[in-house]
Amino acid sequence: MDNITISTLSRYKAEKRKFAALTAYDASFAALFEQNNVPVLLIGDSLGMVLQGGNDTLKVTVEQIAYHTRSVVQGAPNALVIADMPFMSYHTVESACNNAAELMRAGANMVKLEGGEWLLDTVRALTQRSVPVCAHLGLTPQSVHVFGGYKVQGRGDAGQAIIDEALQLQQAGAAMLVLECVPHQLARTITEQLDIPVIGIGAGKDTDGQILVMHDILGISSGYIPKFSKNYLLQTGNIATAVQAFVDEVAHGDFPAAEHTFG
């Protein structure tokens, strides 16, 4: 796989070429994902649930994300590697800059932050200091206790607020956006209005890219597999083939299907 950059993904958007992304936490799986043409890898704070067995992502630390980032970069040197900024690691502009620097030194190409309007100054500061930012709107798992659970966001009149925040984040310098668990009509509108690539998870098939948690596509997540995911290992019986099937279905627009989508 050729080296993937932000410019690569921007070109994909312009060409309407849909791309896949996966979470990754170690060198071995990262290498397998790169070998099977996954251009974007996210060291997600989801590791607090799928690796550590927690009920949420809130206990994950910057040091843990940095450790797993170094591992993923070793396995997939050509992928675009995004590192999650964990809970309360970016509550001030200064803390965001310091913690983002640690993740970039670990090898990340970009950091991801959850939140909207309150993050605009932080996004500006990081971008001005040469840290590419991926914003995250919709269901933001670090706010699970505010939402009262893992619930679809942006239904009805609430959708306009997400559109407005997406445009504001782009204007502030965000180079990419993740939309999680929003109605597919809202995701389509945001994807069409933004110039930056939009990656969906539970956001319908009209976003520029799709991301899933690796444990979900392999059917090994503890608890349950979310409505918006799909067990590709059950379908294929082989890990590498499962990953390639995910990549191919995203590229052809076959995933997500209606059953993985919120109306």
Nearest alpha carbon to residue 101 among 85, 79, 77, 88? 85
33, 243 contact by CB (below 8 A) = yes
**45 appears as a binding residue in the annotation:** yes
Per-residue HEC secondary structure of 93-157 comes to HHHHHHHHHHHHHCCCCEEEEECCHHHHHHHHHHHHCCCCEEEEEECCHHHHHHHCCCCCCCCCC
Q: Which residues, listed in sequence order, are joined to residue 136 by a DSSP beta bridge?
A: 114, 178
For residue 114, what are the contacts with CB-CB under 8 A and spacing of at least 6? 85, 136, 140, 141, 142, 143
227 is in an annotated binding site: no
Helices assigned H by DSSP within the chain: 6-14, 27-35, 47-50, 62-75, 93-105, 120-128, 144-147, 158-172, 184-193, 214-217, 232-236, 239-252
SS3 at position 6: helix
Q: Are 194 and 206 in contact (CB under 8 A)?
A: no
The answer to whether 222 is annotated as binding is no
Sign for the CA dihedral angle at 9, 160, 202, 215 comes to positive
Active site residues: 180
Residue 71 labelled as part of a binding site = no
Any known ligand binding at 34?
A: no
Tokens representing residue 103 in the block:
């993740």
Cβ–Cβ under 8 Å, residues 184 and 205:
yes
* Residue numbers belonging to the annotated binding site for 3-methyl-2-oxobutanoate: 45-46, 84, 112
* Residue numbers belonging to the annotated binding site for Mg(2+): 45, 84, 114
* Residue numbers belonging to the annotated binding site: 45-46, 84, 112, 114
